[in-house]
């Protein structure tokens, strides 16, 4: 979907000024949000693409105002309410309803194992190979109303297939409960000038991992 979350390549937002000494968490509550996201997600009521879509559905002014983990918290609240794990009244009051009690989905002794195992998106299934390595392709000019991993700045631009990553879960369907529908994932190289014009450095390029559904022959 098109929104303020997809800010890559946009003008007017100022320079990026990374802090080489930035802490992992800026406050204790941020680590708690991460812990809650992992723990509650262990119930399996949603997937990572649904989580991303919940965050990118935050209204633009709020999204720009919020910090990173604020977005995580707002998205998590939306997910737990939609899944029926809590009610909006419970969220507002910070207290469970009478008789409402759920067993923890992720015990403390399983946390390290769960984090190490991760959530691989690769799938061992047969899928067509529509593009060979080295082929010139164009990113399709798509403007979907739902979740997608195709950034706006690459749409309509021409690049070259440099790597075949195999078959991966397709986020555009997975984010909306329409199934994983695994597809071929490619590494595509775009020159900076193709993306941003002749003022870009001619030696620079950007590598994007794009599903085959995002691509067409150039």
For the stretch 109-150, pLDDT in tens is: 888 888 888 889 999 999 999 999 999 999 999 999 999 999
Residues above pLDDT 70, as percent of the chain? 100
Each residue's pLDDT tens digit, 158-182: 999 999 999 999 999 999 999 999 9
Looking at CATH, the fold of the domain delimited by 28-117 is given as Cyclin A; domain 1 (1.10.472)
CB 51 within 8 A of CB 176: no
Residue 114: its pLDDT value, please?
86
Architecture of the 136-217 domain: Roll (2.30)
Determine the pLDDT at residue 80: 94
Question: pLDDT tens digits, residue range 77-107?
Answer: 999 999 999 999 999 998 888 776 777 788 8
Give residue limits of the domains in the chain: 28-117, 136-217
Q: Which residues neighbour 139 within 8 Å (Cβ) at sequence distance 6 or greater?
A: 150, 154, 155, 156, 157, 158, 159, 188, 208, 210, 214, 215
């Amino acid at each position: 979907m098109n929104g303020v979350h997809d800010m890559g390549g946009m003008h007017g937002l100022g320079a990026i000024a990374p802090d080489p000494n930035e802490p992992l968490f800026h406050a204790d509550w941020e680590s708690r949000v991460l812990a809650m996201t992992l723990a509650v997600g262990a119930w399996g009521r949603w997937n990572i693409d649904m989580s991303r879509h919940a965050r990118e559905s935050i209204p633009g002014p709020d999204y720009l105002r919020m910090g990173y983990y604020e977005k995580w918290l707002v998205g998590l609240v939306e997910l737990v309410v939609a899944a029926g794990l809590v009610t909006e009244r419970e969220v507002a009051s910070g207290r469970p309803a009478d008789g409402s009690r759920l067993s923890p989905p992720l015990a403390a002794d399983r946390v390290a194992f769960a984090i190490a195992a991760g959530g691989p998106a690769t799938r061992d299934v047969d899928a067509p190979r529509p593009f060979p390595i080295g082929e010139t392709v164009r990113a399709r000019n798509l403007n979907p109303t739902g979740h997608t991993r195709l950034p706006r700045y690459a749409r309509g631009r021409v690049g070259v297939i440099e790597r075949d990553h195999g078959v991966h879960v397709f986020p555009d369907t997975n984010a909306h409960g329409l199934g994983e529908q695994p597809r071929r994932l490619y590494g595509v190289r775009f020159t900076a000038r193709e993306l941003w014009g002749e003022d870009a450095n001619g030696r620079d390029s950007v590598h994007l991992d794009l599903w085959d559904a995002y691509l067409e022959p150039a």
